[in-house]
Amino acid sequence: MAILLAPMEGLLDFTLRDILTRAGGIDRCVSEFIRVSGTLLPESVFRRIVPELSHASRTPAGVPVRAQLLGSDPSCLAENAARLASLGPAGIDLNFGCPAKVVNRHGGGAALLDEPETIARIVAAVRRAVPAAMPVSAKMRLGVSDASRAVECAQAMVCGGAGELVVHARTKLDGYRPPAHWERIAEVREAVRVPVVANGEIWSVADALRCREVSGCTDLMLGRGAVAWPGLALAIAAHDAGQRHGDLGWMQVQALLPAFWEIVGRHFEARQRAGRLKQWLNYLRRHFPQAEQLYGEVRTLHDSRAIDALLQAACLPPQARAA
């Protein structure tokens, strides 16, 4: 019962991959998309978005990372996939699920779900371009405005050579609005002969169990739910193992904040750093009431040194604060 960490542009990048895989329970990650548009990208672009490529394609915690490509031109995607493959990713994933307008108006992401023939050509071109032993997978939504072609698109991906599908149980039009239609994943799973991973609206262990029951999938991909509750994957894995405990409490999550802030400080410009911390704290307060106060204190700060001091004080063990 594998648990995957989702790619989410602007949120789940290498910084949170590092921290969330430290928390435990995650078996594999997929990077945020690398956009391919008419040119052969230099190696530096792949390494910037997926810095794990310089470390055997694993996070510091040792969790493998597949690199995701997004585009609409089969030849150009194949050329870039070959270069990416030479860098040794844990696999190559293809994005047929991004609902962003800026991506879709150029024919990428979920917009391709109205063109199953193009999807099949893209997957086949990438599959031919990379070594046979390298996994090629695909992530899709149910469709553009409805799910009427979900099975057709999934079959096109498998026909092209995808060895695994992740299905986000919403359409492009749905965006991220609940609910996720897990029952439609079951239709896809029954129509293809490759592993299918269920994704969408999994915020708790109860959601995970219900998603498995409705979709028929044993493997899950977590996105915003894992950002809001870094112990979610661990809690699901503990349940699967028949263990009573396996969660991270607020004290353990709070202890991860300085490490996250340190990584952000090393890799982002000063003007971007505070926003990244506020973004994560905003998600954390959905699961942890204790995060509300810290979010309120950080929300008005922009200076890195002031945030350093606040985190040092807030994240000290209780006995150290008392002293």
Rg from Cα positions in the chain:
20
Assess whether 233 and 307 both reside in one domain. no
Number of domains in the chain: 2
Instruction: Judge if 148 and 20 occupy the same domain.
Output: yes
Grade residue 108 by pLDDT with cuts at 50, 70 and 90: confident
Same domain, 57 and 165: yes
**164 found inside a domain:** yes
For residues 141 and 22, membership in a common domain is answered with yes
Please give the pLDDT value at position 314: 84
- Compute the distance between CA of residue 259 and CA of residue 218 in angstroms, rounded to an integer: 32
For residues 3-31, give the mean pLDDT: 95
Residues 22 and 124 occupy one common structural domain: yes
Q: 35-85 pLDDT, tens per residue? A: 999 899 999 999 999 999 999 999 999 999 999 999 999 999 999 999 999
Q: Catalytic residue among 98, 153, 211, 217, which? A: 98
> Are residue 199 and residue 305 in the same domain, yes or no?
no
Q: What is the pLDDT of residue 263?
A: 95
> Which pLDDT tens digit goes with each residue over 175-192?
999 999 999 999 999 999
102 and 228 share one domain: yes
Through-space distance between the first and last CA atoms of the chain, rounded to whole angstroms: 45
Q: Is the pLDDT of residue 321 over 50?
A: no
| 105 — pLDDT class (breaks 50, 70, 90) | low
Q: Rounded to whole angstroms, how far apart are CA atoms 37 and 246?
A: 43
Provide the domain limits for residue 285.
Answer: 250-322
Tell whether 106 is covered by a domain.
yes
Please spell the DSSP secondary structure of 214-250, one letter per residue. Answer: HH--S-EEESHHHHH-TTHHHHHHHHHTT-S-----H
Q: What is the CATH number of the domain that holds 125?
A: 3.20.20.70
Greatest alpha-carbon span in the chain: 67
Q: What is the pLDDT of residue 323?
A: 37
Q: Which of 188, 212, 240 is the last residue of a domain?
A: 240
pLDDT at position 315, please? Answer: 82
This prediction's pTM: 0.94
Instruction: Pick the last residue of a domain from 207, 240, 273.
Output: 240
Taking alpha carbons only, the member of 8, 91, 14 closest to residue 60 is 14
Mean pLDDT across the chain: 94
236 shares its domain with 256: no
What CATH number corresponds to the domain at position 309? 1.20.225
Query: If DSSP codes are grouped into helix, strand and coil, which group holds residue 38?
Result: coil
Q: How far apart are the C-alpha atoms of 228 and 26, rounded to whole Å?
A: 15
Average pLDDT over every residue of 255-273: 93
Q: Is residue 31 part of a domain?
A: yes
- Asked whether 222 and 6 are in contact (CB, 8 A), the reply is yes
Q: Where are the beta strands (DSSP E) in the chain?
A: 3-5, 28-35, 65-70, 92-96, 136-141, 165-168, 196-199, 220-222
Are 144 and 277 within one domain?
no
Whole-number pLDDT of residue 136: 98
Q: Is the peptide bond before 116 cis (omega within 30 degrees of 0)?
A: no
Q: Is the pLDDT of residue 318 over 60?
A: no
245 inside domain: no
Is 211 a catalytic site residue?
A: no
Same domain as 158, residue 264: no
Is residue 151 assigned to a domain?
A: yes
pLDDT in tens, 119-173: 999 999 999 999 999 999 999 999 999 999 999 999 999 999 999 999 999 999 9
92 pLDDT higher than 70: yes
Question: What is residue 322's predicted lDDT score, i.e. its pLDDT?
Answer: 38
Same-domain status, 11 and 32: yes
What pLDDT, on the 0 to 100 scale, is given for residue 106?
66
In a domain, 33, yes or no: yes
Residues 126 and 232 in one domain: yes
pLDDT band, residue 320 (cuts 50/70/90): very low
In a domain, 282, yes or no: yes
Taking 80 as the threshold, does the pLDDT of residue 217 lie above it?
A: yes
Length of the chain as a residue count = 323
Q: What is the mean pLDDT of residues 7-26?
A: 94
Task: Pick the last residue of a domain from 179, 214, 240.
Answer: 240
